[in-house]
C-alpha cells in the first residue's frame, strides 16, 4: 500500500462528530459503505484523512457500516475534497456534498 501524506489542514484535536457540525460549514465529506474493506483499513484511512483517533475512526466506521453512509468531515469544499482523495487512495467510496 502506498504511503499517504496526511494533509496539514486536517490535523485537528478533540474532533467532534456531530450532525450539528455541518451547520457552520457548507460542505461535507461522506463515506459510503462497501464490503471491500475491513474495519481496521477504514479506521486507518480515516485517521490519515481527518486526523481522528482510533476510537473516533471506529465510531465513524460503525456508523457507515450500520447506516450505509456517514459524513466524516465538515469544512470548506477544498478541504473536503482533500479528505475524499485520501479516503479514495484505498478505493473507499467517498463523495464531497453540500450540507
Residue 93 has pLDDT above 70, yes or no: yes
Domains and CATH numbers, the chain: 20-98 (3.30.1390.10)
Question: How far is residue 64's CA from residue 47's CA, in Å, rounded to a whole number?
Answer: 15
Torsion of CA 28, 64, 58, 22, to 10 degrees: 20
Q: Mind listing the pLDDT tens digit for each residue in 13-62? A: 444 444 445 567 799 999 999 999 999 999 999 999 999 999 999 999 99
pLDDT for 23 equals: 62
Q: Which residues contact 19 (CB under 8 A, 6 or more apart)?
A: 71
Amino acid at each position: 500500500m502506498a504511503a499517504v501524506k496526511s494533509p496539514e489542514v486536517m490535523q485537528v484535536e478533540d474532533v467532534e462528530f456531530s450532525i450539528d457540525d455541518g451547520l457552520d460549514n457548507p460542505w461535507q465529506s461522506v463515506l459510503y459503505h462497501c464490503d471491500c474493506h475491513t474495519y481496521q483499513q477504514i479506521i486507518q484511512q480515516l485517521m490519515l484523512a481527518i486526523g481522528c483517533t482510533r476510537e473516533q475512526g471506529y465510531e465513524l466506521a460503525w456508523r457507515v457500516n450500520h447506516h450505509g453512509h456517514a459524513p466524516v468531515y465538515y469544512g470548506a469544499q477544498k478541504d473536503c475534497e482533500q479528505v475524499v482523495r485520501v479516503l479514495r487512495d484505498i478505493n473507499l467510496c467517498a463523495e464531497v456534498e453540500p450540507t
